[in-house]
Amino acid sequence: MKTREKNYPAAINAYEAALELEPASAKVRHAFGNFHLIYLSDSERAVEQFKEGLKIRPNSFHLQSDYVRALFYLKRFEEARVVLDELLSRAPTNRHFSQRIKLADLNLQYYSRRADFSSASGADVKTTLSDLESLIHEFKQIRPEWGRRQDETSIDKEYSQREEVSQRDECRRRTFTSRNRVDGAL
């Protein structure tokens, strides 16, 4: 509420009060970290909150992915790579479509942002090109099933079945109409 009103000092007080009441709340740490990242553009403080949250829930996809994003903003790419690799190691068992897409996106952002940083900071062109080649390689490595929802197969089947029923109904309607015309003509 305080955030929507852009009353950021009151929002900070509310988060701090929430942390006093529940210091071991990963959700509050995550929300406070996102508040720092999004509304205050304070990536350092966001990283602190995400780290505290990860002490409580070390395998939280959302905490880890937002932690990676904050590390990108700080240009701490090697730290981000470690967390990304951990997330990617668990990816084959991740059944959440949106999380798979977010993870693939973060992985591509890693190479894109790193190449951009290398280029902007005057690094050797070979380093930038290497990161861009890695970006292309990683893009090609995205597993096709990551782009499909787990339930899409059943949705496709249901759609096909409905289409068949619809076609049958249309055929019956035409037959009925034809019969009525023939009966009317006799």
The count of domains in the chain is 2
Q: Rounded CA gap, 9 and 15, in Å?
A: 10
Which two tokens mark 106? 């973060």
> Does residue 155 sit within a domain?
no
Per-residue pLDDT of 12-44, as tens digits, reads: 999 999 999 999 999 999 999 999 999 999 999
Residue-number span of the structural domain to which 119 is assigned = 76-150
Same-domain check for residues 89 and 145? yes
Per-residue pLDDT of 113-165, as tens digits, reads: 999 998 898 888 998 898 899 899 988 888 776 665 554 444 445 445 555 65
Q: Rounded CA gap, 5 and 60, in Å?
A: 29
Same-domain check for residues 81 and 38? no
Q: Where are the beta strands (DSSP E) in the chain?
A: none
